Amino acid sequence: MKDDISAYARQGFGTDLPLAAPFGLLIVDFVNGFADPNRFGGGNIAPAIAQTEALLAFAREHAFAIAHTRIVFADDDSDANVFCMKVPGMLTLKENDPASAIVPSLTPRAGEVVIRKTLPSAFHGTTLQAWLAQRGVQTLLIAGATTSGCVRASVVDAMSAGFRPLVVSDCCGDRAIGPHDANLFDMQQKYAAVMPYAEAVSQLSAHLDRHPAHA
């Protein structure tokens, strides 16, 4: 296993991804259903939500562009897709289902966009890319659930769209820790900067101090 991991560095993976302002924050699917271990939650999702409260406060203090996502299917199931064929319970997430509502501690404020989606990625088939581009975002902080699912899909699409993803590792959660850890490792090697909240805030604060025009 050690030799397998060493191949990443030998082949040039895991290069640092420098921060660049303006910054944005994407919070993926931190809704009641994913906070509930009897619905779609479990694992380390609850502590990730709690840590994201501090991240959201930091982003608001510094006027980052902030986006939230929800999974929302039509009441008549007319937009049912392959995702809900694989995970039929997703089709129960409707506009007025409390499970699809963003957790109260992360309630969006005026000026923060809420993206409704029916697929794992926050970008696919939504207006998120244009919304972020209009605000000039270069580095996109990403938190949410699940690390191995909708977070990862959103990170890959963010990178593909030209944004620099910064995955805040302890602000992401999964219903099992193995997939969480493996996907953080893989994203750091290929697609994103990955660091815990304390390190992310330290680096962001230092960058904003050096470039106050972006504060």
pLDDT the model gives residue 215? 47
Sheet holding 65-71, edge to edge: 113-117, 65-71, 23-28, 139-145, 164-173, 193-195
**Which residues, given as ranges, of the chain have pLDDT below 70?**
1-3, 213-215
Catalytic annotation present for 84: no
User: Do strands 65-71 and 23-28 pair parallel, antiparallel, or not at all (unpaired)?
Assistant: parallel
User: Do strands 193-195 and 164-173 pair parallel, antiparallel, or not at all (unpaired)?
Assistant: parallel
Tell me, which fold does domain 20-214 have in CATH?
Rossmann fold (3.40.50)
pLDDT in tens, 136-174: 999 999 999 999 999 999 999 999 999 999 999 999 999
Among 84, 150, 171, 172, the active-site one is 150
| Phi, psi values for residue 113, rounded to 5° | -80, 145
Domain ranges of the chain: 20-214
**Rounded Cα distance, 45 and 99, in Å:** 15
pLDDT the model gives residue 1? 47
